[in-house]
Structure 1
Amino acid sequence: MAPSLAPDRLNEETARSPCLSENGNIAVKMMATQRRVLLDVLMACWGMGTWLGINGLYVQLPLLVERLPEGWALPASMTVAVQIANIGLLLYALLRRIFTRVKDATYIYGLLMIGALALILNAFLYTKTATVGNTERSMAFLSLTFFAGLVGCTSSVLFYPYLRYFREIYLATYLVGEGLSGFIPSILSLIQGVGGEPECVPSGNFTIPVYPPARFDSTVFMLVLGVLSIASLLSFTIIDSTRIFASERVSLTAAVKDEEAVQQYSLLHPKWVSILLLMAVLNALSNGVLPSVQSYSCMPYGTRAYHLAVALGTSANPMACLAGVWLPPVPSKALAAMLSVAVVPFVYILTTAVMSPSPPLQHQTSGEALVVLSWVCVLAVVSYARMWVYGWARGGGARGMRACGVATQLGSAIGSLLLFLLVNYTDLFTQPDVCSTVI
């Protein structure tokens, strides 16, 4: 994807091979494009497990915000629970210092097991609440969301460096798998039938919203996610413990040479700093700001708008990553132009959230379509930009990928904390009485 700072191993190997000397350029191109489809599938399945628990729960938010005590503030509380899971980064760093001979694969196995178990337990416990400071809180749901978040947060500094032991072409398919962690739950939610508008039913001196039942409840939904997490674990087991993909691995000698070659590059170099800042901003938006305001931006247009924005927005992620598999990477100037254009729908999203519960074009089809289109556009551009940055950072070896992972989690934490404070401790975002907004 992006230019690599490390030596081009493929060219070196081609130059040393006598059978490739006659048509070296053609051979290089063929070797660069040849890939094992089965490994692509396994990489995608493994990548799916990283954020499956969190993305799957976000897809359920149109249903959960109607039934859990936090209401529209649930997404902000959920993002904080996820960001607290960044403690996994510190724990991983500590364990690496104590147990220096333990391979990264061992930690990956443990994380994937934790993610699957958290989803299965959440399926049965998510409705359990507790009183905290005279306020009813979804403690079981948020606690298990924390453990699901451990997988995604720690994967940023653990899973990406592991990928350096495979050819670079498989980075994109792994990222496709990360995108599938949102896309597959979105398809499942469409089958589930989440998104019906409530009917206001008189109850004493008040009217209460009664929501149409889904085809199956959140328990079944989370159990399916748990099964998918187990499939991710099995995929990684095949990738790591079998030798059927030995030809697709980068030799240990070549990996060490790459590591030595990039040591001369300082992560404080202006280009590296700008890349890491860009990654921090992108993740502050995608993992902090946008999830926290989505209910306020979309719900005033109806549950259907919220549901479509979540489902289509998460679908944009793997589509953007697939573009990175089959299309050549765009130049940095083209990426900057894409990000500049995406500022317009992003500002519109923030406007609708701040103006909630009476945003522009409310109760109009054009308003519903515009807000959904804005969400899809912004999430697609942010997803593609993140993939571009990861590809660029691979040129820095394990050190560059870990630095990129730290920037990912730092940006996510800052964005989540900021929006949690704004949502819960200011009047900037307002949740109306549901029945008073139904026409």
Structure 2
Amino acid sequence: MFNKEWKLNEYLTYILLTLVFLSSWTDINGIFTELPQIVLTQPEGWKLGTYIGLVASMSNIAPLILVFSKCIFRKQSLNVIPINYIVIIIGMSSCLLLVFFWSNTTYIYNRNRSLALFILTFFLALLDCTSMVTFSHYMTRFRREFTSALFLGESLTMVIPSLLAMMQGNGQLTCVPSSNNNTTIAIYKTARFSVSIYFLCIFFILAVSFIAFVLLQWTKIAQTSSQDATKEPMMLETNNENTMNIMIDSDSTIKSQRHKLTPLLYLLLLSGSAYTSSIIFGMVFSISAYVLMPYGHQIFYLGTILSPWMFSLVWLFGTIKPFIAKRYLLLLIILGSITFSFELTLAFRSPCPPLINTMKGNVLILVIWLSTFLLLGYPRLVIANYVRLHSSNGMFWFGANVQFGALMGSIVAYLLVETFSLFKEQLPCEKIQC
């Protein structure tokens, strides 16, 4: 997984980079994970998730400005360090304010609305959307083998909130017969600690991330891990052979024609990162209730708790096998598209999809649900490795395309769920005759 010749400082650098990337999406993922507790007190009910997704999408204005700046000032290098400081501090401040104001409502247009939650969510998403681009570009300051730290941190942004939710007892309920005995109602169990304490824990995670970034910038820990253009060129081409030499460290090179990209293939891979991100970050979680809930609250709970761990498996695969042949890359994306299409079909048929109330159906949907994250997540990691080798700006455009894909996916999901109301949700403990 790691280079056996690494020194202590290089291991510390990898850990610090992972901690830095925790500030990307931990807060927004934390809000979505905490929704079962938040909706119990907020006036929007379960529609709150859709509204939060829309508010988060609006914050893509920040990475859009970065992309335009990159295009206009293409001859000048982008210094992402001050941007990273700003966005992490904004995220920390917003998360701290959530501790005190998450439940506040404001009377607007004849009804109470969670205005404070929406505003603070916007600023948190501003951190996440911007950091996806700036952190990706920041990785070019370090050697290639440190790229996987970006994806480890990304996976932990989902795993840690889910662990906190499990410790809190979030989303656990019992189905109790109603007074007329014809229906059942969901009774949520009392959480072990409050929503405010939950957001305080998220704030401390962001604070640790900020400290890690300061250590990387103001100490010599990362000095031996930085990218040295004279010792580790991104790409070398010999005059006598049409071969690319990829430097792993200052002493060894890997000659591999398979890693070479044409301009067209480079653009296709960036498009692939946008496509996979549109599904993973834009659509899958938005339709999770319509896909999983018809098979029972236990399946819904397992699906939402286990899915973040799939990103950790993606990171593990990426450290073991950072590159695969491009034809296999395409094959995995096609397979992931098939599993997602199956999930989308189930969402359209909700609340009466096939094989409900059967063990076969429960196992099948859980396997398909988790497989989508692996089949589309791993190619996205491999694409990052390819584009980084192709261009010094590859990681910047990778991050921009990831964010663009997530935006497009969330817009499509919002249209399907909210505007056209094409899905019918099954509430917890609700019995429907199919």
Shift of 1:203: 8.1
Instruction: Summarize the Cα distance change of 1:395–1:101 in structure 2 as closer, same or farther, 3 Å threshold.
Output: closer
Find out whether 1:78 has 2:55 as its counterpart.
no
C-alpha distance in 2 between matches for 1:127 and 1:231: 26
Residue aligning to 1:359: 353
Residue aligning to 1:213: 190
Residue aligning to 2:11: 37
Instruction: Summarize the Cα distance change of 1:133–1:172 in structure 2 as closer, same or farther, 3 Å threshold.
Output: same
SS of 1:311's equivalent?
helix
More displaced, 193-202 or 294-303? 193-202
C-alpha distance in 1 between matches for 2:5 and 2:427: 61
Residues 101-120 of structure 1: pairs in structure 2 closer than 5 A: 103-120=79-96
Aligned mate of 2:206, from 229, 250, 262: 229
Instruction: Summarize the Cα distance change of 1:228–1:130 in structure 2 as closer, same or farther, 3 Å threshold.
Output: same
SS of 1:127's equivalent?
coil
Find out whether 1:408 has 2:382 as its counterpart.
no
More displaced, 211-220 or 167-176? 211-220
SS of 2:192's equivalent?
coil
C-alpha distance in 2 between matches for 1:67 and 1:382: 36
Aligned mate of 1:165, from 112, 131, 141: 141
SS of 2:357's equivalent?
coil
Instruction: Deviation per CA, 1:132-176: give whole Å up to 9, x if none.
Output: 544554322222222111122112321111111111111102221
More displaced, 71-80 or 88-97? 88-97
Residues 2-401 of structure 1: pairs in structure 2 closer than 5 A: 36-65=10-39, 67-92=41-66, 103-134=79-110, 136-200=112-176, 209-251=186-228, 269-401=263-395
SS of 2:173's equivalent?
coil
Instruction: Deviation per CA, 1:397-422: give whole Å up to 9, x if none.
Output: 44222222221122111111111122
Higher normalized contact order (CA 8 Å, seq sep 6+, divided by chain length): 1
Instruction: Summarize the Cα distance change of 1:352–1:63 in structure 2 as closer, same or farther, 3 Å threshold.
Output: farther
Instruction: Deviation per CA, 1:53-110: give whole Å up to 9, x if none.
Output: 1222222234445554434433332222221111112454688889x89942111111
Name the amino acid aligned to 1:378.
Answer: T
Identity, in percent, stands at: 27
Name the amino acid aligned to 1:78.
Answer: I
| TM value normalised by structure 1 | 0.82
C-alpha distance in 2 between matches for 1:105 and 1:46: 12
C-alpha distance in 2 between matches for 1:102 and 1:408: 18
- Where does structure 2 lack aligned partners over 5 or more consecutive residues? 238-243, 245-260
C-alpha distance in 2 between matches for 1:227 and 1:258: 36
Instruction: Summarize the Cα distance change of 1:75–1:366 in structure 2 as closer, same or farther, 3 Å threshold.
Output: farther
Instruction: Summarize the Cα distance change of 1:130–1:358 in structure 2 as closer, same or farther, 3 Å threshold.
Output: farther
SS of 2:22's equivalent?
helix
C-alpha distance in 1 between matches for 2:153 and 2:386: 19
Shift of 1:358: 2.2
Asked whether the 8 Å contact 2:175–2:184 carries over to 1, the reply is: no
C-alpha distance in 1 between matches for 2:386 and 2:326: 10
Residue aligning to 2:424: 430
Instruction: Summarize the Cα distance change of 1:259–1:337 in structure 2 as closer, same or farther, 3 Å threshold.
Output: closer
C-alpha distance in 1 between matches for 2:43 and 2:351: 19
Instruction: Summarize the Cα distance change of 1:117–1:306 in structure 2 as closer, same or farther, 3 Å threshold.
Output: farther
SS of 1:50's equivalent?
coil
C-alpha distance in 1 between matches for 2:107 and 2:379: 41
Shift of 1:237: 0.9
Asked whether the 8 Å contact 2:33–2:165 carries over to 1, the reply is: yes
Asked whether the 8 Å contact 1:123–1:222 carries over to 2, the reply is: yes
Instruction: Summarize the Cα distance change of 1:438–1:217 in structure 2 as closer, same or farther, 3 Å threshold.
Output: farther
Asked whether the 8 Å contact 1:40–1:173 carries over to 2, the reply is: yes
Instruction: Summarize the Cα distance change of 1:84–1:259 in structure 2 as closer, same or farther, 3 Å threshold.
Output: farther
Asked whether the 8 Å contact 1:49–1:178 carries over to 2, the reply is: no
SS of 1:284's equivalent?
helix
SS of 1:210's equivalent?
strand
Asked whether the 8 Å contact 1:160–1:401 carries over to 2, the reply is: yes
Instruction: Summarize the Cα distance change of 1:332–1:258 in structure 2 as closer, same or farther, 3 Å threshold.
Output: closer
More displaced, 325-334 or 40-49? 325-334
Shift of 1:373: 2.1
User: Where is the helix percentage greater, Structure 1 or Structure 2?
Assistant: 1
Name the amino acid aligned to 1:249.
Answer: S
Asked whether the 8 Å contact 2:234–2:392 carries over to 1, the reply is: no
Instruction: Summarize the Cα distance change of 1:175–1:91 in structure 2 as closer, same or farther, 3 Å threshold.
Output: same
Asked whether the 8 Å contact 1:161–1:397 carries over to 2, the reply is: no
SS of 1:363's equivalent?
coil
Find out whether 1:420 has 2:414 as its counterpart.
yes
Name the amino acid aligned to 2:425.
Answer: Q
C-alpha distance in 1 between matches for 2:189 and 2:159: 24
More displaced, 142-151 or 190-199? 190-199
Shift of 1:30: 6.9
C-alpha distance in 1 between matches for 2:117 and 2:195: 12
- Where does structure 1 lack aligned partners over 5 or more consecutive residues? 2-28
C-alpha distance in 2 between matches for 1:163 and 1:51: 17
Instruction: Summarize the Cα distance change of 1:36–1:73 in structure 2 as closer, same or farther, 3 Å threshold.
Output: same
